[in-house]
Amino acid sequence: MRTIFNTLIDSYIHNKVGIAENFLNETLAAQLKRNLSALFADDQFQSAGTGNEKIIVQDKLYRGDMIYWLDRKHNDPFENQFFDLIDSFVLHLNQTCYTGITGYEFHYALYPAGSFYKKHLDQFRNNPSRQYSMITYLNADWQETDGGELRIYHDDHEQDIAPVNGKTVFFKSSELEHEVLLTNKARMSITGWLKIG
């Protein structure tokens, strides 16, 4: 995994957006997608909002995803395997880049067909604890016509990233505005933030 971790970090240093194509192997990605689908079918997801726990607004004209927060206390073996992977990445990131990350939070995200998330930053105005955003995709056989790209706004250009299975994207939460373009079929991911404090 060290090679994949370095790919994620090196591409971030080069372009402010880290991308690793196989952060999740196919087996774990499939297991996590099954978990996500089962939880959604069991009505365990909630509509996502904007803001933090003090200020939260739900607006389907701004974002249309549904979420389910992950927690080791759920004792799901595949989700805990994902957390083990994140723990290893955070350790490597702190050792090689001195980032001082002390925690994280992640949730499943499902965008139904016809949904999107307009341009935004991930760091709250009243809470700077989110340092890095990470998105790991769970979409096998994703096609260009399916839409749902992550569009990242750099100073002088836009970068579109397809939500392809197993791929992870990594960037500074306070720096890059981004959006999820209209998806034409259900789009699934694990989305979260590496935090300080």
pLDDT tens digits in sequence order for the chain, 197 residues long: 999 999 999 999 999 999 999 999 999 999 999 999 999 999 999 987 655 554 445 556 778 999 999 999 999 999 999 999 999 999 999 999 999 999 999 999 999 999 999 999 887 666 788 999 999 999 999 999 999 999 999 999 999 999 999 999 999 999 999 999 999 999 999 999 999 98
Domain assignment present for 32:
yes
Residue type, 62: Y
Domain assignment present for 54:
no
The answer to whether the CB of 167 falls within 8 A of the CB of 142 is: no
* pTM of the predicted model over 0.75: yes
The answer to whether the CB of 195 falls within 8 A of the CB of 129 is: yes
Which CATH number covers residue 77?
Answer: 2.60.120.620
- Tell me the C-alpha distance between 80 and 73, whole Å: 9
**In terms of residue numbers, what domain contains 122?**
2-49+61-195
Domain assignment present for 55:
no
- Tell me the C-alpha distance between 30 and 138, whole Å: 7
What share of residues in the chain are helix, strand, coil (percent, to 5)? Answer: 30, 30, 40
Number of domains in the chain: 1
As a whole number of angstroms, the longest Cα–Cα distance in the chain is 44
